[in-house]
Amino acid sequence: MGNKDNERNIYSDNTPELVDLAKVVEGADRIDPELFAKYDVKRGLRDLNGKGVLTGLTNISTINATKEVNGERIPADGELFYRGINVRDIVHGTASESKFGFEEAAYLLLFGKLPDKDELQGFTQLLGFYRSLPTGFVRDIIMKAPSRDMMNTLSRSVLTLYSYDNHADDVSMPNVLRQCLQMISLFPLLAIYGYQAYNHYHEGNSLFIHPPKAELSTAEHILYLLRPDSKYTELEARLLDICLILHMEHGGGNNSSFTTHVVSSSMTDTYSVIAAAIGSLKGPRHGGANIKVIHMFDQMEKELKDWADEEEVKVYLGKLLNKEAFDKAGLIYGVGHAIYSKSDPRAVLLKEYTVKLAKEKGMEKELALYEMVERLAPEVISSERKMYKGVSINVDFYSGFVYKMLELPEELFTPMFAIARIVGWSAHRMEELANNSKIIRPAYMAVSDIYDYVPMEKR
């Protein structure tokens, strides 16, 4: 057997022996679900209503999904605040002034206040200055052994940047701020160049690498880097800018931001922290959901005879819930959220501008189907499932559709999330360091029995 065959077996094949050993692992690790109730353990750090267990305090963002009426908290339309400012006002404000808002929102999250004109200009110029990779990095790192998964590519690039940083382990605030600003600037380059390498070496398509441009906004820069001709419309760039703002931050309790706090509390380096956050976001339960939405709708569009027939759509949604359609997971992707019940403010805002782009792209028929599912899904779910709270669409419902209209490859859907969320991760990392907190170490209760060691000859 040659080396190539050995390599394939080592890294790809599940042998019968491994399958048998895996069954042993599963048997040893499985815990009786009744024990979680017995010891009042909140699985996933959430109670039955989906409310997260309080594990920390933050100044960075606030999520509201209820309101008080007669001394009782009841579900309300969701609200999201960045440093106390409603994200709705940020999006509408930048749109009304015909400017790109990602940089302004990033300044707000990082520094705790809105910038004036000079502060914003200086901050934008600083991000542009950092929009440059080390000499040979694209050739030696990104182009070598390109991964089929762009999140893995992004993580590898981030960890490799550690080797180019003479102060990589310095956790003083000026140094960490510098590292964070560099990564905010570099994430579009790392993700898109990684995709171009994959698209060339694995898919056989032409390779093109556009040099970075410091003068472009982040949203414009992404479209400039990604498209062969570097051309885009103003509406395309503005809608991508809004997507980036809405994905930028969502409280300290989401999986990747909590990961950022946990890993930062060990006082490790910034690159290790951000790589850990990327690994968290990669999961389909977190950052990969909008791809599932797109695939679900693609299948739905093929199977429905009449996209405008409400009863036919209802039946199909029922099949999704009953594991009879699409991936048979029993889910309507893009519907439901751990916190929001009546509405996800990010989805509401995104839809406003999605309608405009759908008209520009001639995709009103597809949009109408999305709107029908948005309206019918909560009704179908409530009739099929026991609900502890209300259900509505989440930000993933329309974001994948937007990326599809922008002709972004699916391989970059989750990296786009990371390109935005690196701002929130950076803010949470610096908040953890600024408060000099203890290492985060929650308790786990051991429920295994105690046994005596048995010598080999007696087993």
Predicted confidence (pLDDT) per residue in 185-200, tens digit: 999 999 999 999 999 9
User: Can you tell me the distance from the alpha carbon of 130 to that of 132, in angstroms, rounded to the nearest whole number?
Assistant: 5
Task: Please give the pLDDT value at position 289.
Answer: 85
How many other CB atoms are found less than 10 A from the CB of residue 236? 21
Task: Please give the pLDDT value at position 16.
Answer: 87
The domain made up of 84-237+269-283 has a fold known as Citrate Synthase; domain 1 (1.10.580)
Task: Please give the pLDDT value at position 2.
Answer: 46
User: Can you tell me the distance from the alpha carbon of 106 to that of 114, in angstroms, rounded to the nearest whole number?
Assistant: 9
Query: Residues 56, 60, 63, CA angle at the centre, nearest 5°?
Result: 80
Active-site annotation, residues: 337, 396
User: Can you tell me the distance from the alpha carbon of 422 to that of 294, in angstroms, rounded to the nearest whole number?
Assistant: 24
- The domain ranges of the chain are 10-42, 84-237+269-283
Task: Please give the pLDDT value at position 4.
Answer: 52
Q: What is the pLDDT of residues 286-311, one digit of tens each?
A: 888 889 999 999 999 999 999 999 99
Enumerate residues 6+ apart whose C-beta is below 8 A from 372.
Answer: 307, 308, 310, 313
Intervals of the chain under pLDDT 70? 1-12, 49, 387-389
How would you class 410 by CB atoms within 10 Å of its CB: exposed for 0-12, middle for 13-18, buried for 19 or more? middle
Task: Please give the pLDDT value at position 44.
Answer: 83
Whether the CB-CB separation of 80 and 63 falls below 8 Å is answered with yes
User: Can you tell me the distance from the alpha carbon of 45 to that of 53, in angstroms, rounded to the nearest whole number?
Assistant: 5
Q: What is the pLDDT of residues 201-240, one digit of tens each?
A: 888 999 999 999 999 999 999 999 999 999 999 999 999 9
Whether the CB-CB separation of 223 and 412 falls below 8 Å is answered with no
Task: Please give the pLDDT value at position 264.
Answer: 97
Sheet holding 72-82, edge to edge: 61-69, 72-82, 85-86
